Amino acid sequence: MLNFYKYGPGESLWLVQNSKFVIKSSFHGVVFSIIFRKPFYAILWDRKDNIRQNDRIVDILSKLGLQDRAFTDPEEILKRALDENIDCEQVYEKLEKLKQESAEWMLDAISEALKEKESPRKHENVSAVHDRYGCFACYNICPQNAIEMVLDEEGLYSERVNANLCTKYGLCVDVCPAPNFPKNENLERPKAYAAWSLDEPTR
C-alpha cells in the first residue's frame, strides 16, 4: 500500500484526474472529483475534532444534488459497491449557475468597495480637520512631504500643509485620530489630554 501524504498538490490532482473512482474525506478531493467528472464517494468525519470539516462537503453536495454520495460509515461502500451513476451534465449545469452567482457577488462587492474608495472625503487634507492633536501621524504618513509640524505661540505642535505639494489623496485624514475616533459605545471621546515634561526648559 502506498503512502501519498509525502506527495504535493500536483501529484494529488494527477491521481484524482486519472482515477476510475475516487473515495475522499476532504473538501478539495470532492471538488476536484466533480471538476474532473469522476464518480466518487465522500466519507464524512465522525470524530469531534474533525467534524467541522464535513460542513463544506455537505454544503456543496447538497447544492449540486449529490448529497447521497456522502456518508459516515466507510462500510457503506460495501453495500453500494462503486456506484458510478452520476448525471454529470445535470451536475455541471448546477455548478455553472453557482459559479455565475459567485462571480456576480464578487463583482458587486468589488464595485461597492470602489465606490466607497472613490467617494469624496469630507476633508481633502488634515488642515481642514477641526480637532487636531499634533501627534505627527499625518506628518509621518504623507508621501509628498507636504506637511510640516510647527510650534504655535502656546508651544504646541500643529500641522501646516503645503498646498503646492499636497495631492489631496487624503492619507493624512485617514490616519488622523480626530475624525476617526473609534465608534464604540464603551469608549468616550476624551475631553482633554495632559502631560508634564521632565525637562525644565521645555516645561
What's 200's domain CATH number? 3.30.70.20
The residue segments making up the domain with residue 201 are 121-203
Q: What is the chain's mean pLDDT, rounded?
A: 84
Q: What is the DSSP letter of 160?
A: E
Q: Are residues 22 and 76 in the same domain?
A: yes
User: Does any domain span residue 106?
Assistant: no
User: Does any domain span residue 56?
Assistant: yes
Is pLDDT above 80 for 6? Answer: no
Boundary of a domain, candidates 86, 106, 137: 86
User: Does any domain span residue 4?
Assistant: no
Q: Are residues 125 and 203 in the same domain?
A: yes
Boundary of a domain, candidates 86, 108, 143: 86
CA–CA distance, 122 with 117 (Å, rounded to integer): 13
Q: Are residues 79 and 125 in the same domain?
A: no
Do 58 and 109 meet the contact criterion of CB atoms below 8 Å apart?
Answer: no
User: Does any domain span residue 107?
Assistant: no
HSE toward the beta carbon, residue 138, CA cutoff 13 A: 32
Q: Are residues 141 and 188 in the same domain?
A: yes
Residue 77 CB-density burial (10 A; 0-12 exposed, 13-18 middle, 19+ buried): middle
Ramachandran category for residue 182: left, alpha or beta (phi over 0 → left; psi -120 to 50 → alpha)? beta
Q: Are residues 139 and 77 in the same domain?
A: no
Q: Work out the average pLDDT over 108-122.
A: 67
Q: Are residues 51 and 125 in the same domain?
A: no
Q: Are residues 199 and 137 in the same domain?
A: yes
Cβ-defined contacts of 137-146 (< 8 Å, 24+): 137/172, 137/175, 137/176, 137/177, 138/171, 138/172, 138/173, 138/175, 138/176, 141/171, 141/172, 141/174, 141/175, 142/171, 142/172, 143/171
pLDDT at 70: 94
Do 74 and 43 meet the contact criterion of CB atoms below 8 Å apart?
Answer: yes
Boundary of a domain, candidates 38, 71, 86: 86
Whether the pTM exceeds 0.75: the reply is no
Q: Are residues 136 and 79 in the same domain?
A: no
- Overall number of domains in the chain: 2
Q: Work out the average pLDDT over 70-98.
A: 92
User: Does any domain span residue 142?
Assistant: yes
Q: What is the DSSP letter of 198?
A: S
User: Does any domain span residue 96?
Assistant: no
Is pLDDT above 60 for 61? Answer: yes
User: Does any domain span residue 38?
Assistant: yes
User: Does any domain span residue 154?
Assistant: yes
**Phi, then psi, of 22 in degrees rounded to 5:** -115, 135
- Above pLDDT 70, what percent of the chain? 84
